[in-house]
Structure 1
């Protein structure tokens, strides 16, 4: 049995790849001296051989290379910015457009960023990690190489970038996005370019993403367990098709006559839930720390007689709608991924009118879907038109997720592409990989209950101790989706430094503290299923709370 640690074995392999680069990638790399300053001009128009990518492509090319100087996290950073295309096998499929930022003074590390929604744009390479801190430099300012892609398609003109699903008409583009194929192609092409830029490989490679990017983070750990040393996955939409079916069900419910609770009634619901459950953790601070302990019955808001009699109550159709949103949706048929339902959203989520776009929206679903309806309703419409029926004129409200009829086989097939639910992360753990999983308990768009389920599945398969050896899951009270709008708790934690210590020094996160970046307060970041309970002292100080189950 090989006693060499997995990380050391990977570094030895990477070193061997550099030594062999003269025959594999061209003589210029074999004779190049290593440097922390990228050879930018030499990369312009460079061909990326198809052979360096483990999935089928027809190669790629750097389209432009230019030296940039930017102030990032208060630091002046000079870097080489590459724009490149990875060419498809299907000539009718769009190219994968990718970008790499190669800093001067490189720290020998690299960070790949995930996308959001339906993607369609290249993420900002100067961005932070999801729920990242405001008082620490972002990866590029730490002299990381940062890279990302549009996942294999570009949003159309006049469309919201993350809400254009029209690429789903093409099978290769669909697999690049939903199955994550573009992730590995982008990663492989980026490693090739990094080797040519600096004459050596990164010592550590990380992935960070939230929402769709969170799903992508779990995909790379599942499908390519040796490709990344550490992964940060935040509010991951890992069971993408399952959530889409729930969103479609909710679109149907909310489109019924009288069912949609308008903005005033959404605020009523949100305030009522806060008033009922805020103090259950020992302090009233507008944050519900133990969402599983919050049992709210919307019938207490019922209008007299059940009819809509004004802004201070909910009608019976509105009560049915908000109950549907917070209840597990189960479909009465089998799909190939094996998923059977989606766990629904807490009342607190969609009702928070500080972020109406992500929750209920301000307008009931209709055909065509209003831009003022919830993000999830618009996501559903794009999926029906371009992924499922491939008919841009199809009325998404004509398709009932409970009774899909002739579309069942197509739904089942798509589930094998979109539900990335293989929780056997043992190969990732054996390779030395570390995974930090984060979710906000007031998420409006991806239910934290779904992430709870994912984490529990990993523990059930691997066992508690093996899971704890490589994975941490933190549920952040009061945090919403991506700190969008003005959340009750705008989470900020330096997950990257924690992951670096875990990967590089074998030191797992110890007693982490998450800041509320807009309210000057902090809480202990508790490992799920623990939550922070107030014991005594300053309610804005983390030490005044204790993680409890």
Structure 2
């Protein structure tokens, strides 16, 4: 889409992306920053119920973004809740001078609670390409409707969950549409024009949010980048709770030394299943590693060179599906387990096992997922901040089953009918690292298969591409085997603007100066011949 949109919808509705070619009179690429100060945003500008909003700050800023000096107007605003006891949704916009007439919204992470950096790149974005703001996108993001405590571990404060409106803003994604509508309202005020296109990009919780906007508001965004999405949030929480129980058993926790042993053993067994030993497992489904090969003599823990029977049981539980023996309202029945036996990098323990076993109170040195479970039990499930999370068994939740089932309707964003999004011209790029320690790539593959099955393979190809990135972990955290970088935003722009779907994309390992082909799932890159650091030496195969 290459022309300006000049139509605002009538009262009571917010402007979705229209298809008119009319130009807006007196439009400009220079934001009227001072004119936005104190602007009130009427509730009618948002499609979901609010008490309106207000600009609370404006400032002309100059920042170095992707190595380039960018001048922009930074706008802070607050969107007011219907429930006076709920927090505001706090939002920021960066409105660049020399606007490219497009906008991009960033998603959050974990339990959110802070406003993402508007100068950042998209998830798995390359370091040698400009971030959206440097491309003169108007960028914006919100805190999803609550503010985390300064004392909390970043993105791990679930205390807002005691308020229903705050919970819906975060878990159901209501804050996304409110933030989008209010931001587009201000973009129009600043430039006297609607953006010609609006995109969304997010990873993890932000990846779930990316799928939420495509599912719930198919006309609100022209293109979406969803990376390692925690789309089935309730289902994953149940899986994490089960693992917290398993890892808290006596002598069951494999410490960092044992985790490194496991990682090295998996790599030794499976590194060459894709045709080359290069520290990257490109075909995790073909990795058949048996943890019992590491069993200590007589099954007891006798040192760093082996795993005890309880530790083997923990490792096996981590990498196996967790199926609950009851029904929940979302219809989900399992979480598929993590690829710890498929080459995941044990050198980033915070995202996986952690360095200490789960306990009560939950240590900040336990895995991220264990802490996420602890916050969920305290504030989403029981709404009792003193409740011991290890007292809740996801296999046998007892009196908490009805509450779990209700939460599944809010947290499991599992609508796979993206045909309205496709019919509106929307395009979706879906990415996941094959060595993700925090959100299972198997879960994203499951979602993609459901979308493809419902839409039909041919129809799905017109609006969605899913790439499983070999060796990449969660958000390039720590020292991944493959630090993924791909210019997905340019690919999305070409698809939306020109109808050119991604063709033979290549992903770069930004730590080791090597490349791999990005293969459309379920294809994976097999080494054939030549330089193993070059994508041209690999072929996508099935």
TM-score bin, normalised by smaller chain: over 0.9
- The structure 1 residue matched to 2:119, chosen from 126, 139, 142, is 126
Partner of 2:41: 48
1: CA distance, partners of 2:122 / 2:447: 21
Q: Contact 1:115–1:209 at 8 Å: present in 2 too? A: yes
Q: How do residues 498-509 of structure 1 correspond to structure 2 at under 5 angstroms?
A: 498-509=491-502
- Report the CA distance between 1:34 and its aligned residue: 1.1
| Structure 1 residue 220 corresponds to structure 2 residue 213 | yes
- The structure 1 residue matched to 2:239, chosen from 216, 237, 246, is 246
Partner of 1:458: 451
Partner of 1:151: 144
1: CA distance, partners of 2:343 / 2:313: 14
**TM-score with structure 1 length normalisation?**
0.95
2: CA distance, partners of 1:126 / 1:291: 34
Q: How do residues 336-355 of structure 1 correspond to structure 2 at under 5 angstroms?
A: 336-348=329-341, 352-355=345-348
Q: Contact 1:69–1:79 at 8 Å: present in 2 too? A: yes
Q: 1:349 to 1:282 in 2, by over 3 A?
A: closer
- Report the CA distance between 1:152 and its aligned residue: 0.2
1: CA distance, partners of 2:454 / 2:536: 34
| Structure 1 residue 61 corresponds to structure 2 residue 54 | yes
Partner of 1:162: 155
Task: Report the RMSD for the aligned CA atoms in angstroms.
Answer: 1.6
| Structure 1 residue 16 corresponds to structure 2 residue 7 | yes
- Report the CA distance between 1:15 and its aligned residue: 1.9
SS in 2 for 1:514: strand
Q: Contact 1:350–1:358 at 8 Å: present in 2 too? A: no
Partner of 2:302: 309
State the Cα deviation string for residues 199-258 of structure 1 (Å, max 9, x = none). 000001000000000000000000000000000000000000000000000000000000
SS in 1 for 2:70: strand
Q: How do residues 264-279 of structure 1 correspond to structure 2 at under 5 angstroms?
A: 264-279=257-272
Q: Contact 1:221–1:428 at 8 Å: present in 2 too? A: yes
Partner of 2:166: 173
2: CA distance, partners of 1:502 / 1:331: 40
Greater per-residue helix proportion: 1
Q: How do residues 182-197 of structure 1 correspond to structure 2 at under 5 angstroms?
A: 182-197=175-190
Q: Contact 1:217–1:232 at 8 Å: present in 2 too? A: yes
Q: Contact 1:119–1:150 at 8 Å: present in 2 too? A: yes
SS in 1 for 2:167: helix
Partner of 1:3: none
State the Cα deviation string for residues 264-319 of structure 1 (Å, max 9, x = none). 00000000000000011111001000000001110000011111111100000000
Q: Contact 1:226–1:428 at 8 Å: present in 2 too? A: yes
Q: Contact 1:277–1:288 at 8 Å: present in 2 too? A: yes
Q: Contact 1:349–1:444 at 8 Å: present in 2 too? A: no
- Report the CA distance between 1:349 and its aligned residue: 6.8
Q: Contact 2:340–2:437 at 8 Å: present in 1 too? A: no
State the Cα deviation string for residues 94-153 of structure 1 (Å, max 9, x = none). 000000000000000000000000000000000001000111000000000000000000
Partner of 1:531: 524
- Report the CA distance between 1:352 and its aligned residue: 2.7
Partner of 1:389: 382
SS in 2 for 1:93: coil
Q: Contact 1:115–1:212 at 8 Å: present in 2 too? A: yes
Q: Contact 2:280–2:481 at 8 Å: present in 1 too? A: yes
Q: How do residues 17-36 of structure 1 correspond to structure 2 at under 5 angstroms?
A: 17=8, 33-36=26-29
Partner of 1:4: none
- The structure 2 residue matched to 1:102, chosen from 95, 106, 111, is 95
SS in 2 for 1:277: helix
Partner of 2:74: 81
| Structure 1 residue 300 corresponds to structure 2 residue 293 | yes
1: CA distance, partners of 2:316 / 2:431: 26
| Structure 1 residue 361 corresponds to structure 2 residue 385 | no
- Report the CA distance between 1:353 and its aligned residue: 3.0
Partner of 1:545: 538
1: CA distance, partners of 2:55 / 2:497: 32
Partner of 2:193: 200
Count residues with an aligned counterpart: 533
SS in 1 for 2:540: strand
Q: 1:191 to 1:347 in 2, by over 3 A?
A: same
Q: Contact 1:350–1:356 at 8 Å: present in 2 too? A: no
State the Cα deviation string for residues 294-351 of structure 1 (Å, max 9, x = none). 0111000001111111110000000000000110000000000000000001124796
Q: Contact 1:349–1:480 at 8 Å: present in 2 too? A: no
2: CA distance, partners of 1:322 / 1:229: 42
1: CA distance, partners of 2:121 / 2:292: 42
2: CA distance, partners of 1:415 / 1:399: 16
- Report the CA distance between 1:262 and its aligned residue: 0.6
2: CA distance, partners of 1:225 / 1:410: 29
| Structure 1 residue 442 corresponds to structure 2 residue 438 | no
Q: 1:196 to 1:133 in 2, by over 3 A?
A: same
1: CA distance, partners of 2:165 / 2:301: 49
Q: 1:124 to 1:348 in 2, by over 3 A?
A: farther
State the Cα deviation string for residues 463-493 of structure 1 (Å, max 9, x = none). 1000011100000010000000010000000
Greater CA deviation, 432-441 or 66-75? 66-75
